[in-house]
Chain A
Amino acid sequence: LKLYCLSGHPTLPCNVLKFKSTTIMLDCGLDMTSTLNFLPLPLVQSPRLSKLPGWVLKDGSTFLDKELKECSGHVFVDSVPEFCLPETELLDLSTVDVILISNYHCMMALPYITEYTGFTGTVYATEPTVQIGRLLMEELVNSIERVPKAQSASMWKNKEVQRLLPTPLKDAVEVSMWRKCYTMPEVNAALSKIQLVGYSQKIELFGAVQVTPLSSGYALGSSNWIIQSHYEKVSYVSGSSLLTTHPQPMDQASLKNSDVLILTGLTQIPTANPDGMVGEFCSNLAMTVRNGGNVLVPCYPSGVIYDLLECLYQYIDSAGLSNVPFYFISPVANSSLEFSQIFAEWLCHNKQTKVYLPEPPFPHAELIQTNKLKHYPSIHGDFSNDFKQPCVVFTGHPSLRFGDVVHFMELWGKSSLNTVIFTEPDFSYLDALAPYQPLAMKCVYCPIDTRLNFIQVSKLLKEVQPLHVVCPEQYTQPPPTQSHRTDLMVDCQPPPMSYRRAEVLTLPYKRRYEKIEIMPDPSVMWTTYAHHTY
């Protein structure tokens, strides 16, 4: 029983479990924080960005000034943004038999794995995970491909050169492994390798191992996985939530009696209460609009946005915002809104019962019908005709490096009437804003991360009592910025085993029995023919 850790990002995991001669990859998250080191990709030529000065070394040499630009004391790579892939050298990825996906955020590296490593196995995921994952990939590819960038910087990646760069570029890991975004044909090829599964479906792998997805309560179709043989049980917990939002509640009972529980995808903002954040989001939004300003909400096209729209649906009339237009701009906005309405079976009980009436499970259908919410594939076309201010715009990408959000940052950044509200927790908002400085626009940070916090984790672990817990090293110590908060770490007995990127763990387990089947044959007295599976 071995665990190969291919990703250092605790919420975008990529681990490989070797279990009874089966090689199982658990998630393939793509670390996109690398894009924060790049300049934004503007949809419309931006004079400000194109006038940024090239970066000059301390000794005055200017050989990097084409590749690196300086903005308010920060240095950015002027190139197509690149992503930090999971480790591909730690083991031969062509030997991976199956990939289990837990939610749509944790599959963004899939095309890199299935199309470039000789992978020939099967990928398992739920239908909403695949459909929404496809939308996220489509949006990503679209927002990068529609802004062709002639320049592809590579000189700065040279080890000798990288040493000379300022932080954070100097400390960026494995820059030689950073890759450009995949293409739509690669996305389609990757997704064609997925086999759809339902919650509590028992999937036999080679007759030796059984895997089962369980509802994890975090997103539409999100799942935790049980990997078991007759006498060993490994639970893989990734991106789970106990809050009542739109998805089906988390299945905790099935995690009981695990020999090993692999714990990833906890909240990235352990100190913030999601409910409080939603309240703050609404009040900041209302205040800005009342003062005649615009609100920009950088977001993914699916997920928390459904909950935000639902809150706004209840809030706008009482807050007197009925006449303020809400725009949702994304190449997949329409698809995302439509898809959210057809996955009733994956939703919480309240939403499920609505479908029996029959009514759409999410109230954003009504917002669209009453013209309060309008969606557009991009800022070009119909949107430019309909666009009225003050307004609220939901658009991606939350990194502020590509997508329509770049345009609105440039457009609204100069006025202090406007507000940008950060709700997605994946990117540091200060880093995201860095290439836009100096900014006059107000910035509000309301990260909404519904994943488990440390109190919920310790309660969960007490409840399901695994023999051993394995987690990323980040969870075994307090956050670096709050080193006194010893409550912000995983606390269990025995203490969790921790892993970091590129490490291989041997997981402890002790097994004394194995299951065989005997064929009943009354004529055989002393010997028994046994049927044994390896």
Chain B
Amino acid sequence: MPEIKVTPLGAGQDVGRSCILVSIAGKNVMLDCGMHMGYNDDRRFPDFSYITQNGRLTDFLDCVIISHFHLDHCGALPYFSEMVGYDGPIYMTHPTKAICPILLEDYRKITVDKKGETNFFTSQMIKDCMKKVVAVHLHQTVQVDEELEIKAYYAGHVLGAAMFQIKVGCESVVYTGDYNMTPDRHLGAAWIDKCRPDLLISESTYATTIRDSKRCRERDFLKKVHETVERGGKVLIPVFALGRAQELCILLETFWERMNLKAPIYFSTGLTEKANHYYKLFITWTNQKIRKTFVQRNMFEFKHIKAFDRAFADNPGPMVVFATPGMLHAGQSLQIFRKWAGNEKNMVIMPGYCVQGTVGHKILSGQRKLEMEGRQILEVKMQVEYMSFSAHADAKGIMQLIRQAEPRNVLLVHGEAKKMEFLKQKIEQEFHVSCYMPANGETTTIFTNPSIPVDISLGLLKRETTIGLVPDVKKPKLMHGTLIMKDNSFRLVSPEQALKELGLAEHQLRFTCRVHIQDPRKEHETVLRVYNHLKGVLKDYSVQHLPDGSITVESILIQATAHSEDQGTKVLLVSWTYQDEELGSYLTSLLKKGLPQSTA
């Protein structure tokens, strides 16, 4: 039986290092190639030796698909393609292709220049890696090779984020990447058609959360920022340069304008303007409201938000700073955090998910004494707030997507095992489909039952559809024909054509059956009674009484003879070819019931 195999190399019962291998109809596809922010050792990248120990990766993978530009989905890509070695195609959307190399370069700089690591990928490797990328449009059917095709759907999560359908023949898998089912201030909601994949691989970051209304969370966020600034405190908001940052900037910008606030808002790193420029050029990927009004007012040109300089962190008085990276694991956000952590007037707002091992994760789980590099202890007195702004689907959203796509199986990745377990039960209960949640390195096998496409000769099709009722579109129908399997193709043709093509002689197969009838009359009278009876019952068939005394119903022959021993019994000889099996057996059973008494 055909099967689909899925093995997560990362993101199996975990968030981070997304990398999922899928084998479908003889094709191998790698979904995402991320890094793990919680690790600094080998575990930060997927273990590609799982794919092959000594061969070239290109020989084992038909393509690689990157769902969006977040590093936990693409951070290992240059390592994978340039250091391990992969020359096949890498697919991503245009915005992802534009933004991904910038984040990779950022990541490389932090790792190599700041942390002083060696044996890491270089800038040149990022460039070479990006040359292997093929950009795809939304909904475009990309033919990877003759059999394998992929198609991108809008996923919402960040600019350019996409879900991908991977299809070979009738079998298909949908990988969601990270997605968001509710539109936010700058992006639209994820959407997919009823594509009924054999398997839906969904993220499950918020498997158990049903988030309250977004408006409430926004109001809460603004209130907290406002209060802190009012009492002269500083607000640090660790973010990734692209994505959530833009949404929060839009939020603060409009609030500052409305409330006429004067406290400065800064955005760290030189990325701001560049990042906003990407948003402007790829405005077709944002939500409808921004797209509609962009000619009059570009939402990504901010008046109140200025570029940050390292020296500003020591300025007195209130301020709001957006700084990268988002999980406080390195870079500028961590530096500012260390400076401000000791003052209880200040506040840090974590607007997204933090993976285990990061400073962000530690302070969110209540730790207030942190051991920093060099055994130094940092005491956190500033207020720590968590606000879920990350644009992932919540449990409701995940269920909604499953309802939209109608998959036959669901597989959960990119989440915590305990939460997945809960969602898995819910999915199985509500949709009656199997749900899987493999750990990293664990393979899940799903059996599929694909229909087999065959070519049917038009003559046969017409002949078969004229028999019986008018065929109902898309309803299964019984057909008779000869299936020729040749050169990897299937053809359904009429038996005559098959015999001719294959040069075979036809063998006739005939069934004969004797039916005994009690009738004392003369033979020809019995025949006449049978004839009249059949004619009365089989109104739509051609029933004929031949001069030689036999009866034909279509091609079925009926002859009557008197029983050699009992003249009161007549023997009806019914004979038909196997092609007329249906009618033949019907006739026999009809005659076996005997003749009606009052036949004239």
Tell me if A385 is interfacial: C-beta within 8 Å of chain B. no
Tell me if B447 is interfacial: C-beta within 8 Å of chain A. no
* Segment at the interface with B among A28-36, A398-406, A429-437, A507-515: A507-515
On chain B, the residues within 8 Å of A344 by CB distance are: 94, 281-282
In chain B, positions 265-308 with a C-beta closer than 8 Å to chain A are 274, 277-278, 280-284, 294-295
Q: Is A515's CB under 8 angstroms from B453's CB?
A: yes
Tell me if A532 is interfacial: C-beta within 8 Å of chain B. yes
Report how far A515 CA is from B170 CA in the complex, Å.
13
Least distance between B457 CB and chain A CB atoms (Å): 6
Tell me if A311 is interfacial: C-beta within 8 Å of chain B. no
Q: Is B295's CB under 8 angstroms from A335's CB?
A: yes
Report how far A199 CA is from B94 CA in the complex, Å.
14
The digit string for A339-362, where 1 denotes a CB below 8 A from any CB of B, is: 101111100000010011010110
Tell me if A534 is interfacial: C-beta within 8 Å of chain B. yes
On chain A, the residues within 8 Å of B141 by CB distance are: 200-202, 212
Q: Is A512's CB under 8 angstroms from B457's CB?
A: yes
In chain A, positions 496-520 with a C-beta closer than 8 Å to chain B are 511-520
Q: Is B140's CB under 8 angstroms from A200's CB?
A: yes
* Residue of B with least CB distance to A511: B458
Report how far A340 CA is from B571 CA in the complex, Å.
89
Q: Is B458's CB under 8 angstroms from A534's CB?
A: no
Q: Is B284's CB under 8 angstroms from A518's CB?
A: no
In chain B, positions 18-41 with a C-beta closer than 8 Å to chain A are none
On chain B, the residues within 8 Å of A358 by CB distance are: 98, 274, 277-278, 281
* Segment at the interface with B among A84-92, A162-170, A299-307, A523-531: A523-531
Q: Is B455's CB under 8 angstroms from A533's CB?
A: no
On chain B, the residues within 8 Å of A198 by CB distance are: 137-140
Q: Is A513's CB under 8 angstroms from B458's CB?
A: yes
Report how far A352 CA is from B451 CA in the complex, Å.
41
Q: Is A356's CB under 8 angstroms from B98's CB?
A: yes
Q: Is B140's CB under 8 angstroms from A530's CB?
A: no
Report how far A212 CA is from B480 CA in the complex, Å.
34
Tell me if B471 is interfacial: C-beta within 8 Å of chain A. yes
Q: Is B451's CB under 8 angstroms from A517's CB?
A: yes
Report how far A338 CA is from B296 CA in the complex, Å.
10
Report how far A345 CA is from B162 CA in the complex, Å.
15
* Residue of B with least CB distance to A521: B449
Tell me if A334 is interfacial: C-beta within 8 Å of chain B. yes
User: Known contacts A530-B476, A531-B474, A531-B476; is A338 also within 8 Å of B294 by CB?
Assistant: yes
Q: Is B452's CB under 8 angstroms from A518's CB?
A: yes
On chain B, the residues within 8 Å of A148 by CB distance are: none
Q: Is A527's CB under 8 angstroms from B478's CB?
A: yes
Tell me if B97 is interfacial: C-beta within 8 Å of chain A. yes
Q: Is B295's CB under 8 angstroms from A518's CB?
A: no
Report how far A417 CA is from B75 CA in the complex, Å.
63
Report how far A334 CA is from B334 CA in the complex, Å.
43
In chain A, positions 121-162 with a C-beta closer than 8 Å to chain B are 127
Tell me if A185 is interfacial: C-beta within 8 Å of chain B. no
Tell me if A243 is interfacial: C-beta within 8 Å of chain B. no
On chain B, the residues within 8 Å of A517 by CB distance are: 170, 451-454
Report how far A350 CA is from B170 CA in the complex, Å.
37
In chain A, positions 230-272 with a C-beta closer than 8 Å to chain B are none
Report how far A177 CA is from B197 CA in the complex, Å.
50
Tell me if A276 is interfacial: C-beta within 8 Å of chain B. no
On chain B, the residues within 8 Å of A343 by CB distance are: 284
Q: Which of B294, B451, B471, B481 contacts A519 (CB 8 A)?
A: B451
Q: Is B283's CB under 8 angstroms from A514's CB?
A: no
Q: How large is the interface on B (under 10, 10 to 19, 20 to 34, 35 or more residues)?
A: 35 or more
Least distance between A534 CB and chain B CB atoms (Å): 5
Q: Is B142's CB under 8 angstroms from A200's CB?
A: yes
On chain A, the residues within 8 Å of B477 by CB distance are: 529-532
Q: Is B140's CB under 8 angstroms from A513's CB?
A: no
The digit string for A192-216, where 1 denotes a CB below 8 A from any CB of B, is: 0000011111100001000010000
Report how far A338 CA is from B292 CA in the complex, Å.
12
In chain B, positions 440-478 with a C-beta closer than 8 Å to chain A are 449-458, 461, 465, 471, 473-474, 476-478
On chain A, the residues within 8 Å of B235 by CB distance are: none
Report how far A519 CA is from B480 CA in the complex, Å.
14
In chain A, positions 390-432 with a C-beta closer than 8 Å to chain B are none
Tell me if B370 is interfacial: C-beta within 8 Å of chain A. no
Least distance between A22 CB and chain B CB atoms (Å): 12
Tell me if B479 is interfacial: C-beta within 8 Å of chain A. yes
Q: Which of B454, B471, B480 contacts A518 (CB 8 A)?
A: B454
Q: Is A514's CB under 8 angstroms from B456's CB?
A: yes
Q: Which of A341, A518, A527, A528 contacts B281 (CB 8 A)?
A: A341
* Residue of B with least CB distance to A204: B193
On chain A, the residues within 8 Å of B280 by CB distance are: 342
Q: Which of B135, B284, B465, B491 contacts A342 (CB 8 A)?
A: B284
Q: Is B283's CB under 8 angstroms from A342's CB?
A: yes
Q: Is A356's CB under 8 angstroms from B97's CB?
A: yes
Tell me if B492 is interfacial: C-beta within 8 Å of chain A. yes
On chain B, the residues within 8 Å of A361 by CB distance are: 281
On chain A, the residues within 8 Å of B282 by CB distance are: 342, 344, 355
Report how far A198 CA is from B478 CA in the complex, Å.
38
Report how far A356 CA is from B160 CA in the complex, Å.
13
User: Known contacts A207-B474, A534-B471; is A342 also within 8 Å of B281 by CB?
Assistant: yes
Q: Which of A197, A516, A520 contacts B456 (CB 8 A)?
A: A516
On chain A, the residues within 8 Å of B138 by CB distance are: 198
Least distance between B284 CB and chain A CB atoms (Å): 6
Least distance between A217 CB and chain B CB atoms (Å): 16
On chain B, the residues within 8 Å of A341 by CB distance are: 281
Least distance between A402 CB and chain B CB atoms (Å): 23
Residue of A334, A361, A511, A514 contacting most chain B CB atoms (<10 Å): A514
Tell me if B483 is interfacial: C-beta within 8 Å of chain A. yes
Least distance between B498 CB and chain A CB atoms (Å): 14
In chain A, positions 35-73 with a C-beta closer than 8 Å to chain B are none
The digit string for B481-505, where 1 denotes a CB below 8 A from any CB of A, is: 1010000001110000000000000
On chain B, the residues within 8 Å of A528 by CB distance are: 479, 481, 483, 492
The digit string for B87-106, where 1 denotes a CB below 8 A from any CB of A, is: 00000001001100000000
User: Known contacts A334-B295, A342-B282; is A533 also within 8 Å of B473 by CB?
Assistant: yes
Q: Is B284's CB under 8 angstroms from A516's CB?
A: no
On chain B, the residues within 8 Å of A533 by CB distance are: 473-474
On chain A, the residues within 8 Å of B480 by CB distance are: 527
User: Known contacts A514-B456, A515-B453; is A532 also within 8 Å of B98 by CB?
Assistant: no
Q: Is A513's CB under 8 angstroms from B457's CB?
A: yes
On chain B, the residues within 8 Å of A339 by CB distance are: 295
* Residue of B with least CB distance to A200: B140
* Residue of A with least CB distance to B471: A532
On chain A, the residues within 8 Å of B455 by CB distance are: 513-515
* Residue of B with least CB distance to A519: B451
Task: Give 25 pairs: A residue, B residue, CB < 8 Å, sorted on A.
Answer: A127-B284, A199-B137, A200-B140, A202-B141, A207-B473, A342-B283, A343-B284, A352-B135, A356-B97, A358-B274, A358-B277, A513-B491, A514-B458, A517-B170, A518-B483, A530-B454, A530-B476, A530-B477, A530-B479, A530-B492, A531-B476, A532-B456, A532-B477, A532-B479, A533-B473
- The 9 tightest CB contacts between A and B, nearest first, are A517-B451, A513-B455, A198-B137, A201-B139, A200-B140, A356-B98, A358-B277, A530-B479, A198-B139
B interface residues with partner A (beta carbon < 8 Å): 94, 97-98, 135, 137-142, 170, 274, 277-278, 280-284, 294-295, 449-458, 461, 465, 471, 473-474, 476-481, 483, 490-492
Given contacts A515-B454, A517-B453, 12 further A-B contacts (CB under 8 A): A200-B141, A342-B294, A360-B281, A511-B458, A512-B457, A513-B491, A517-B170, A518-B452, A518-B490, A528-B479, A530-B478, A532-B461
